[in-house]
Structure 1
Amino acid sequence: MAPRLITIMGVSGTGKSSLAIAVARKVNGIYLDADDFHTNECKTLMAEGIGISDQQRQEWLIRLMKGISEQLSTDQDVVLAFSGLKKAHRKQVYSSFSNQWQFMLEGSPDLILKRLMNRSDHFAGADLLPSQILAMEPIDTNEELVIKLAINLLPKEQVALVVDSISQEKVWC
Protein backbone atom coordinates (compact mmCIF):
# COMPACT_ATOMS: atom_id res chain seq x y z
CA MET A 1 0.00 0.00 0.00
CA ALA A 2 1.20 3.51 -0.82
CA PRO A 3 2.08 5.70 2.14
CA ARG A 4 -0.75 7.88 3.42
CA LEU A 5 -0.76 11.61 4.00
CA ILE A 6 -2.84 12.29 7.11
CA THR A 7 -3.45 16.00 7.54
CA ILE A 8 -4.63 17.52 10.82
CA MET A 9 -5.86 21.10 10.31
CA GLY A 10 -7.15 23.99 12.40
CA VAL A 11 -6.29 27.44 13.64
CA SER A 12 -3.49 27.91 16.12
CA GLY A 13 -4.39 26.48 19.52
CA THR A 14 -6.75 23.73 18.38
CA GLY A 15 -4.26 20.98 19.24
CA LYS A 16 -3.29 19.93 15.73
CA SER A 17 0.39 19.39 16.55
CA SER A 18 -0.39 17.32 19.64
CA LEU A 19 -2.90 15.21 17.72
CA ALA A 20 -0.60 14.79 14.72
CA ILE A 21 2.28 13.66 16.95
CA ALA A 22 0.02 11.13 18.70
CA VAL A 23 -1.35 9.78 15.41
CA ALA A 24 2.15 9.53 13.91
CA ARG A 25 3.23 7.45 16.91
CA LYS A 26 0.15 5.24 16.63
CA VAL A 27 0.64 4.51 12.90
CA ASN A 28 4.45 4.48 13.05
CA GLY A 29 4.51 7.43 10.67
CA ILE A 30 6.56 10.56 10.20
CA TYR A 31 5.33 13.72 11.91
CA LEU A 32 5.64 16.99 10.02
CA ASP A 33 4.66 20.38 11.40
CA ALA A 34 3.87 22.90 8.67
CA ASP A 35 5.08 25.64 11.04
CA ASP A 36 8.61 24.28 10.67
CA PHE A 37 8.54 25.39 7.02
CA HIS A 38 7.93 29.08 7.88
CA THR A 39 10.85 31.48 7.68
CA ASN A 40 12.19 33.07 10.83
CA GLU A 41 10.77 36.38 9.58
CA CYS A 42 7.27 34.92 9.38
CA LYS A 43 7.59 33.30 12.79
CA THR A 44 8.61 36.66 14.25
CA LEU A 45 5.62 38.39 12.66
CA MET A 46 3.23 35.74 13.97
CA ALA A 47 4.82 35.89 17.44
CA GLU A 48 3.95 39.60 17.40
CA GLY A 49 0.34 38.76 16.53
CA ILE A 50 0.72 39.85 12.90
CA GLY A 51 -0.68 37.55 10.22
CA ILE A 52 1.52 36.78 7.24
CA SER A 53 0.79 37.88 3.69
CA ASP A 54 -0.57 35.69 0.92
CA GLN A 55 2.86 35.88 -0.80
CA GLN A 56 4.59 34.67 2.36
CA ARG A 57 2.02 31.87 2.67
CA GLN A 58 2.63 30.81 -0.95
CA GLU A 59 6.41 30.62 -0.45
CA TRP A 60 5.82 28.62 2.74
CA LEU A 61 3.45 26.29 0.91
CA ILE A 62 6.06 25.56 -1.77
CA ARG A 63 8.59 24.58 0.93
CA LEU A 64 5.93 22.52 2.71
CA MET A 65 4.92 20.60 -0.44
CA LYS A 66 8.56 19.73 -1.10
CA GLY A 67 8.96 18.50 2.49
CA ILE A 68 5.84 16.32 2.23
CA SER A 69 7.04 14.82 -1.05
CA GLU A 70 10.45 14.04 0.40
CA GLN A 71 8.98 12.28 3.41
CA LEU A 72 6.38 10.31 1.44
CA SER A 73 9.20 9.04 -0.78
CA THR A 74 10.46 7.06 2.25
CA ASP A 75 7.32 4.87 1.96
CA GLN A 76 6.16 5.79 5.46
CA ASP A 77 2.90 7.47 6.33
CA VAL A 78 3.21 11.21 6.94
CA VAL A 79 1.07 12.93 9.56
CA LEU A 80 0.98 16.66 8.94
CA ALA A 81 -0.06 19.43 11.34
CA PHE A 82 -1.21 22.18 8.94
CA SER A 83 -3.39 25.22 9.61
CA GLY A 84 -5.27 24.88 6.32
CA LEU A 85 -6.55 28.44 6.64
CA LYS A 86 -7.05 29.04 2.92
CA LYS A 87 -9.14 26.88 0.57
CA ALA A 88 -6.55 27.33 -2.17
CA HIS A 89 -3.80 25.99 0.07
CA ARG A 90 -5.91 23.03 1.16
CA LYS A 91 -6.76 22.33 -2.48
CA GLN A 92 -3.09 22.43 -3.42
CA VAL A 93 -2.29 19.82 -0.78
CA TYR A 94 -5.36 17.70 -1.67
CA SER A 95 -4.61 17.69 -5.39
CA SER A 96 -0.88 17.03 -5.09
CA PHE A 97 -0.94 13.77 -3.16
CA SER A 98 -2.96 10.58 -3.38
CA ASN A 99 -3.98 8.22 -0.58
CA GLN A 100 -4.71 10.93 1.92
CA TRP A 101 -7.00 11.81 4.77
CA GLN A 102 -7.90 15.26 6.08
CA PHE A 103 -9.19 16.20 9.51
CA MET A 104 -10.26 19.67 10.65
CA LEU A 105 -10.18 20.49 14.35
CA GLU A 106 -12.98 22.84 15.34
CA GLY A 107 -14.03 24.47 18.57
CA SER A 108 -15.19 27.65 20.21
CA PRO A 109 -12.92 30.70 20.01
CA ASP A 110 -13.15 31.00 23.79
CA LEU A 111 -11.73 27.50 24.34
CA ILE A 112 -9.01 28.07 21.72
CA LEU A 113 -8.07 31.40 23.35
CA LYS A 114 -7.88 29.72 26.76
CA ARG A 115 -5.52 27.10 25.34
CA LEU A 116 -3.34 29.75 23.71
CA MET A 117 -3.17 31.78 26.93
CA ASN A 118 -1.80 28.69 28.71
CA ARG A 119 0.77 27.94 26.00
CA SER A 120 4.31 29.25 26.25
CA ASP A 121 6.28 26.88 24.03
CA HIS A 122 5.16 28.15 20.61
CA PHE A 123 5.74 31.32 18.62
CA ALA A 124 2.03 31.70 17.84
CA GLY A 125 0.33 33.15 20.87
CA ALA A 126 -3.12 34.40 21.72
CA ASP A 127 -2.57 37.67 19.81
CA LEU A 128 -2.53 35.73 16.54
CA LEU A 129 -5.93 34.07 17.03
CA PRO A 130 -8.12 36.89 15.65
CA SER A 131 -6.15 37.01 12.38
CA GLN A 132 -6.24 33.22 12.09
CA ILE A 133 -10.01 33.15 12.62
CA LEU A 134 -10.44 35.88 9.99
CA ALA A 135 -8.16 34.05 7.55
CA MET A 136 -9.81 30.63 8.07
CA GLU A 137 -11.99 29.90 5.08
CA PRO A 138 -14.73 27.41 5.97
CA ILE A 139 -14.87 23.91 4.56
CA ASP A 140 -17.25 23.95 1.59
CA THR A 141 -19.17 21.29 -0.32
CA ASN A 142 -16.16 20.65 -2.59
CA GLU A 143 -14.26 19.57 0.52
CA GLU A 144 -16.84 17.15 1.86
CA LEU A 145 -14.17 14.54 2.46
CA VAL A 146 -12.65 16.53 5.29
CA ILE A 147 -13.59 14.93 8.60
CA LYS A 148 -14.37 17.46 11.33
CA LEU A 149 -13.20 16.76 14.89
CA ALA A 150 -14.26 18.63 18.02
CA ILE A 151 -11.40 20.02 20.08
CA ASN A 152 -13.24 19.36 23.31
CA LEU A 153 -12.89 15.59 22.87
CA LEU A 154 -10.25 13.88 24.96
CA PRO A 155 -6.97 13.46 23.05
CA LYS A 156 -7.29 9.66 23.17
CA GLU A 157 -10.78 9.97 21.63
CA GLN A 158 -9.45 12.16 18.83
CA VAL A 159 -6.62 9.72 18.12
CA ALA A 160 -9.06 6.80 18.06
CA LEU A 161 -11.35 8.62 15.61
CA VAL A 162 -8.47 9.42 13.28
CA VAL A 163 -6.96 5.93 13.42
CA ASP A 164 -10.36 4.28 12.95
CA SER A 165 -11.07 6.49 9.93
CA ILE A 166 -7.75 5.84 8.21
CA SER A 167 -7.99 2.11 8.93
CA GLN A 168 -10.91 1.82 6.54
CA GLU A 169 -10.00 0.60 3.10
CA LYS A 170 -11.76 3.47 1.40
CA VAL A 171 -9.39 6.31 0.51
CA TRP A 172 -10.99 9.72 0.85
CA CYS A 173 -9.04 11.45 -1.91
Structure 2
Amino acid sequence: MSQPLSVPESHPPPALIVVMGVSGSGKSTVGAGIAKAISRPFIDGDDLHPKSNVEKMSKGHPLTDQDRFPWLAIIRSTAERVCAEQAQSGEVNKGDRPAAVVVCSSLKKIYRDILRGQHPASTKMPPEDDTQERHPSGAHIPATAALKTYFIFLDGTEKVILDRMSARKGHFMKAGMLQSQLATLESPEGEEGVARVDIDATPDEVVAAARKAVKDMIGM
Protein backbone atom coordinates (compact mmCIF):
# COMPACT_ATOMS: atom_id res chain seq x y z
CA MET A 1 0.00 0.00 0.00
CA SER A 2 1.33 3.42 -0.94
CA GLN A 3 1.97 5.83 1.91
CA PRO A 4 0.23 9.22 1.94
CA LEU A 5 2.31 12.23 1.07
CA SER A 6 2.04 15.20 3.38
CA VAL A 7 1.62 18.88 2.64
CA PRO A 8 4.24 20.97 4.49
CA GLU A 9 2.94 23.26 7.23
CA SER A 10 4.15 26.23 5.18
CA HIS A 11 1.02 25.74 3.06
CA PRO A 12 -2.64 26.09 4.07
CA PRO A 13 -4.67 22.84 4.18
CA PRO A 14 -5.12 21.43 0.63
CA ALA A 15 -8.50 21.70 -1.06
CA LEU A 16 -10.52 19.30 -3.18
CA ILE A 17 -13.00 21.27 -5.28
CA VAL A 18 -15.70 19.00 -6.72
CA VAL A 19 -17.91 20.28 -9.53
CA MET A 20 -21.10 18.23 -9.23
CA GLY A 21 -24.51 17.89 -10.84
CA VAL A 22 -26.47 15.72 -13.24
CA SER A 23 -25.29 14.89 -16.75
CA GLY A 24 -25.63 17.86 -19.08
CA SER A 25 -25.24 20.47 -16.36
CA GLY A 26 -21.89 21.59 -17.76
CA LYS A 27 -19.54 20.09 -15.17
CA SER A 28 -16.55 19.62 -17.47
CA THR A 29 -16.72 23.15 -18.86
CA VAL A 30 -17.06 24.69 -15.42
CA GLY A 31 -14.44 22.45 -13.83
CA ALA A 32 -11.89 23.23 -16.52
CA GLY A 33 -12.71 26.94 -16.21
CA ILE A 34 -12.17 26.95 -12.44
CA ALA A 35 -8.93 24.96 -12.72
CA LYS A 36 -7.57 27.40 -15.29
CA ALA A 37 -8.60 30.43 -13.25
CA ILE A 38 -6.89 29.23 -10.06
CA SER A 39 -3.97 27.50 -11.85
CA ARG A 40 -4.59 24.10 -10.26
CA PRO A 41 -4.90 20.60 -11.82
CA PHE A 42 -8.18 19.45 -13.38
CA ILE A 43 -9.26 15.82 -12.96
CA ASP A 44 -12.19 14.08 -14.64
CA GLY A 45 -13.48 11.63 -12.07
CA ASP A 46 -14.62 9.21 -14.78
CA ASP A 47 -10.98 8.68 -15.75
CA LEU A 48 -10.30 7.13 -12.32
CA HIS A 49 -12.67 4.19 -12.44
CA PRO A 50 -10.86 0.95 -11.46
CA LYS A 51 -10.57 -1.68 -14.17
CA SER A 52 -13.36 -3.75 -12.63
CA ASN A 53 -15.82 -0.86 -13.11
CA VAL A 54 -14.62 -0.20 -16.66
CA GLU A 55 -15.13 -3.83 -17.59
CA LYS A 56 -18.60 -3.87 -16.05
CA MET A 57 -19.68 -0.70 -17.85
CA SER A 58 -18.23 -1.96 -21.15
CA LYS A 59 -20.60 -4.94 -20.90
CA GLY A 60 -23.56 -2.63 -20.41
CA HIS A 61 -24.04 -3.41 -16.72
CA PRO A 62 -24.93 -0.45 -14.49
CA LEU A 63 -22.69 0.27 -11.52
CA THR A 64 -24.02 -0.30 -8.02
CA ASP A 65 -23.18 1.79 -4.98
CA GLN A 66 -20.75 -0.93 -3.93
CA ASP A 67 -18.96 -0.39 -7.25
CA ARG A 68 -18.94 3.38 -6.81
CA PHE A 69 -17.70 3.54 -3.21
CA PRO A 70 -14.11 2.44 -3.94
CA TRP A 71 -14.03 4.60 -7.08
CA LEU A 72 -14.98 7.66 -5.04
CA ALA A 73 -12.30 6.77 -2.49
CA ILE A 74 -9.79 6.61 -5.35
CA ILE A 75 -10.86 10.09 -6.50
CA ARG A 76 -10.16 11.49 -3.05
CA SER A 77 -6.85 9.71 -2.61
CA THR A 78 -5.75 10.86 -6.06
CA ALA A 79 -6.59 14.46 -5.14
CA GLU A 80 -4.62 14.02 -1.89
CA ARG A 81 -1.58 12.85 -3.82
CA VAL A 82 -1.88 15.60 -6.44
CA CYS A 83 -2.07 18.27 -3.74
CA ALA A 84 0.88 16.86 -1.81
CA GLU A 85 2.97 16.69 -4.98
CA GLN A 86 2.15 20.33 -5.76
CA ALA A 87 3.45 21.43 -2.38
CA GLN A 88 6.51 19.20 -2.27
CA SER A 89 7.59 19.93 -5.84
CA GLY A 90 7.25 23.68 -5.50
CA GLU A 91 4.42 23.95 -8.03
CA VAL A 92 2.68 26.26 -5.56
CA ASN A 93 4.52 28.92 -3.58
CA LYS A 94 4.86 28.83 0.20
CA GLY A 95 1.71 30.16 1.78
CA ASP A 96 -0.41 29.24 -1.26
CA ARG A 97 -3.04 26.53 -1.05
CA PRO A 98 -2.55 23.27 -2.97
CA ALA A 99 -5.79 22.19 -4.66
CA ALA A 100 -7.34 19.94 -7.27
CA VAL A 101 -10.53 20.50 -9.25
CA VAL A 102 -12.52 17.32 -9.89
CA VAL A 103 -15.62 16.67 -11.96
CA CYS A 104 -17.91 14.07 -10.39
CA SER A 105 -21.73 13.90 -10.40
CA SER A 106 -21.84 13.21 -6.63
CA LEU A 107 -25.61 12.80 -6.74
CA LYS A 108 -26.03 11.15 -3.32
CA LYS A 109 -24.95 12.42 0.07
CA ILE A 110 -23.08 9.20 0.81
CA TYR A 111 -21.02 9.77 -2.36
CA ARG A 112 -20.15 13.27 -1.20
CA ASP A 113 -19.27 11.98 2.26
CA ILE A 114 -16.76 9.55 0.74
CA LEU A 115 -15.23 12.45 -1.19
CA ARG A 116 -15.00 14.22 2.17
CA GLY A 117 -12.97 11.27 3.48
CA GLN A 118 -15.76 9.52 5.37
CA HIS A 119 -15.55 5.97 4.04
CA PRO A 120 -18.47 3.61 4.79
CA ALA A 121 -17.45 0.40 6.52
CA SER A 122 -18.59 -1.48 3.41
CA THR A 123 -16.08 0.30 1.18
CA LYS A 124 -13.59 -2.24 -0.13
CA MET A 125 -10.75 -0.89 -2.22
CA PRO A 126 -9.90 -2.83 -5.39
CA PRO A 127 -6.50 -4.53 -5.53
CA GLU A 128 -3.77 -1.90 -5.71
CA ASP A 129 -2.41 -3.41 -8.94
CA ASP A 130 -5.81 -2.69 -10.53
CA THR A 131 -5.59 1.03 -9.74
CA GLN A 132 -1.88 1.32 -10.46
CA GLU A 133 -2.26 -0.38 -13.83
CA ARG A 134 -4.51 2.42 -15.03
CA HIS A 135 -3.19 5.28 -12.89
CA PRO A 136 0.44 4.69 -11.92
CA SER A 137 0.81 8.20 -10.49
CA GLY A 138 -2.44 8.10 -8.56
CA ALA A 139 -2.67 4.74 -6.84
CA HIS A 140 -5.05 4.79 -3.92
CA ILE A 141 -3.58 5.77 -0.60
CA PRO A 142 -5.08 5.95 2.91
CA ALA A 143 -7.45 8.88 3.31
CA THR A 144 -6.42 11.66 5.64
CA ALA A 145 -8.35 14.46 7.29
CA ALA A 146 -6.02 17.12 5.90
CA LEU A 147 -7.75 17.50 2.53
CA LYS A 148 -10.77 19.80 2.79
CA THR A 149 -13.58 19.12 0.31
CA TYR A 150 -15.82 21.75 -1.28
CA PHE A 151 -18.65 21.32 -3.79
CA ILE A 152 -19.85 23.53 -6.63
CA PHE A 153 -23.40 22.32 -7.28
CA LEU A 154 -24.51 23.08 -10.84
CA ASP A 155 -28.29 23.21 -10.64
CA GLY A 156 -31.07 23.84 -13.13
CA THR A 157 -34.47 22.63 -14.25
CA GLU A 158 -34.93 19.63 -16.51
CA LYS A 159 -35.97 21.96 -19.34
CA VAL A 160 -32.86 24.12 -18.99
CA ILE A 161 -30.58 21.06 -19.00
CA LEU A 162 -32.31 19.46 -21.99
CA ASP A 163 -32.16 22.77 -23.89
CA ARG A 164 -28.44 23.05 -23.18
CA MET A 165 -27.80 19.50 -24.27
CA SER A 166 -29.78 19.83 -27.49
CA ALA A 167 -27.57 22.78 -28.42
CA ARG A 168 -24.39 20.72 -28.05
CA LYS A 169 -23.23 18.99 -31.21
CA GLY A 170 -22.78 15.26 -30.97
CA HIS A 171 -24.41 14.98 -27.54
CA PHE A 172 -27.36 12.69 -27.07
CA MET A 173 -29.21 11.90 -23.89
CA LYS A 174 -32.73 10.59 -23.55
CA ALA A 175 -35.10 12.56 -21.36
CA GLY A 176 -35.76 9.41 -19.32
CA MET A 177 -32.07 9.15 -18.44
CA LEU A 178 -32.04 12.71 -17.20
CA GLN A 179 -35.23 12.17 -15.22
CA SER A 180 -33.59 9.18 -13.55
CA GLN A 181 -30.59 11.26 -12.52
CA LEU A 182 -32.81 14.06 -11.23
CA ALA A 183 -34.77 11.50 -9.20
CA THR A 184 -31.50 10.12 -7.75
CA LEU A 185 -30.12 13.54 -6.89
CA GLU A 186 -30.04 14.32 -3.17
CA SER A 187 -29.57 18.06 -3.07
CA PRO A 188 -26.41 19.11 -1.23
CA GLU A 189 -27.83 22.51 -0.32
CA GLY A 190 -27.40 23.09 3.40
CA GLU A 191 -24.37 20.83 3.67
CA GLU A 192 -21.10 22.39 4.76
CA GLY A 193 -18.76 23.56 2.02
CA VAL A 194 -21.36 23.67 -0.77
CA ALA A 195 -22.18 26.50 -3.17
CA ARG A 196 -25.09 26.29 -5.59
CA VAL A 197 -24.63 27.79 -9.06
CA ASP A 198 -27.63 28.31 -11.36
CA ILE A 199 -26.88 27.06 -14.88
CA ASP A 200 -29.66 29.10 -16.54
CA ALA A 201 -27.09 31.46 -18.08
CA THR A 202 -24.38 31.44 -20.75
CA PRO A 203 -21.44 29.05 -20.21
CA ASP A 204 -19.13 32.00 -19.54
CA GLU A 205 -21.53 33.41 -16.96
CA VAL A 206 -21.85 30.03 -15.23
CA VAL A 207 -18.05 29.64 -15.09
CA ALA A 208 -17.74 33.18 -13.69
CA ALA A 209 -20.38 32.46 -11.02
CA ALA A 210 -18.64 29.21 -10.08
CA ARG A 211 -15.28 30.96 -9.93
CA LYS A 212 -16.75 33.58 -7.58
CA ALA A 213 -18.25 30.82 -5.41
CA VAL A 214 -14.82 29.19 -5.05
CA LYS A 215 -13.25 32.51 -4.11
CA ASP A 216 -15.97 33.22 -1.55
CA MET A 217 -15.67 29.75 0.02
CA ILE A 218 -11.92 29.25 0.17
CA GLY A 219 -10.32 32.51 -0.87
CA MET A 220 -8.74 31.17 -4.07
Q: TM-score, normalization: structure 1?
A: 0.78
Alpha-carbon shift at residue 98 of structure 1 (Å): 3.5
> Out of 163, 176, 182, which is 1:133 matched to?
182
Deviates more, 1:32-41 or 1:100-109: 32-41
Find the counterpart in structure 1 of residue 196 from structure 2: 148
**Which stretch has the larger CA shift, 75-84 or 130-139?**
130-139
Q: Distance in 2 between matches of 1:97 and 1:81?
A: 20
1:1-150 map, 5 Å: 1-2=11-12, 3-38=14-49, 39-44=53-58, 51-75=62-86, 76-95=98-117, 96=145, 98-117=147-166, 118=168, 120=170, 125-126=173-174, 128-139=177-188, 141=190, 143-150=191-198
Does the 8 Å contact 1:9/1:104 carry over to 2?
A: yes
Counterpart secondary structure, 2:85: coil
Matched residue type, 1:34 = G
Q: Give distance in 2, aligned partners of 1:136 and 1:119.
A: 26
Q: CA deviation at 1:144?
A: 4.5
- Give the secondary-structure state (helix, strand or coil) at the position aligned to 1:74: helix
Bigger Rg, structure 1 or 2: 2
**Could you tell me how far 1:34 is from its partner in structure 2?**
1.1
Between the aligned partners of 1:114 and 1:23, the Cα distance in structure 2 is 23
Higher helix share: 1
Question: Aligned letter for 1:41?
Answer: E
Q: Is the counterpart of residue 164 in structure 1 residue 212 in structure 2?
A: yes
Identity of aligned residues (%): 27
Q: Give 1:66 deviation, angstroms.
A: 2.4
TM-superposed CA distance for 1:130, in Å, is 2.9
User: 2:47 is aligned with what amino acid?
Assistant: D
1:157/1:140 Cα in 2 relative to 1: closer, same or farther (>3 Å)? closer
Map Cα deviations across residues 72-128 of structure 1 (whole Å, 9 max, x no partner): 22234211111011101112222455344311001111222344444536xx84363
The higher-RCO structure (CA 8 Å, 6+ apart) is 1
Residues 99 and 171 in structure 1, CA contact (< 8 A), matched pair in contact too: no
Task: Judge conservation of contact 1:51–1:128 (CA < 8 Å) in 2.
Answer: no
Deviation at 1:140, TM superposition (A): 5.1
* Alpha-carbon separation, structure 1, partners of 2:84 and 2:20: 22
Structure 1, unaligned stretches of length 5 or more?
none
CA root-mean-square deviation: 2.7
Q: Which runs of 5+ in 2 are unaligned?
A: 1-10, 87-97, 118-144
Instruction: Verify the 8 A CA contact 2:19 2:104 in the aligned structure 1.
Output: yes
SS in 1 for 2:196: strand
